Amino acid sequence: MNTQWTIGIIGGSGLYAIDGLEEAEWRTVETPWGTPSDQILFGRIGDVAIRFLPRHGRGHVHLPGDIPARANIDALKRAGCTDLLAISSVGSLREELPPGTFSIVDQFVDRTVQRPASFFGGGLVAHVSLADPTCERLSAFAAAAITAAGGRVAERSTYLAMEGPQFSTRAESRLYRDWGCDVIGMTAMPEARLAREAELPYALVGMVTDYDCWRDDRAAVDVAEIVAQMAANGRIARAAVAHLLRHLPPERTPSPIDTALDGPIMTAPAHRDAGMIARNEAILARVLGLNLTAG
């Protein structure tokens, strides 16, 4: 049993670097799902190994709907990650979540429609539970780190994942509020789904940049304001990430998510497609007894 932490950090809009990273080296990790958003930055902070992947690519070159989520998660799995901390800019659907707030997401409503959402398919069928889609342990570490970094944090938020790249209409924004959603973004799905299929505990920190357009007394979402708020959020986020990594427990105890594929694979062994098995070798590494890490 591996008791060492290897934290994969998926940086979204506003977080493009990790402060204090030692032995930093960008490495190419190839996957059968295509090219990830970018190379992965290998390094460490203290005794914790880090794998950093900019979700949109360096220079912000990928639209939300074009992010190669399967390649990203597969690459992070191959790079030896034990857990994933995702950072993402979000809009607020609640008055009590003003710009500058950090939101720890624990639930999702997925309204994306054009993105491959699973590693599994014909010849290799699996139904993985997603009732509780984020990791409670890593989420708690993230909340404490944000507080230590001087940020305001709201826990247990519901994230509405929209297709984009346009922002919501006012009618949509009001509907999402009625559904009980707290924040809105374009990138966390299918990322969170795929992390669970890959047996990677996943936590999402939403950095609130703006109020979505549900308020009658406010103009539509202003991109210039969002970019300015991103910069402010990013400073706190970088400090919080550094704090989290330096204050993890010395040993990583097992998570139930580590064995998420025990049971969900429905296709009988004799009927499993060999090509699908090969394509999913990183995702199925524990199940098949393989050692495929790139780090």
Name, in order, each residue with C-beta under 8 angstroms of 4's C-beta and a sequence gap of 6 or more. 47, 49, 82, 251, 252
The DSSP 8-state label assigned to residue 4 in this structure reads S
Contact 67, 114 (CB under 8 A): no
210 is annotated as an active-site residue = yes
212 is annotated as an active-site residue = yes
Enclosing H/E stretch for 25 = strand 22-27
Q: Is beta strand 40-45 parallel, antiparallel or unpaired with respect to 152-161?
A: unpaired
Specify the residue for token string 């997401």.
105
Write down the catalytic residue from 106, 182, 210, 258.
210
CA dihedral for 39, 142, 163, 198, sign (positive or negative): positive
Write down the catalytic residue from 74, 83, 182, 212.
212
Q: In Å, what is the CA distance from 29 to each residue of 78, 193, 198, 218?
A: 8, 21, 16, 44
Concatenating the DSSP letter of every residue in 130-198 gives -SS-S-HHHHHHHHHHHHHTT-EEEEEEEEEE---SS---HHHHHHHHHTT--EEESSSTTHHHHHHHT
Residues designated catalytic:
210, 212
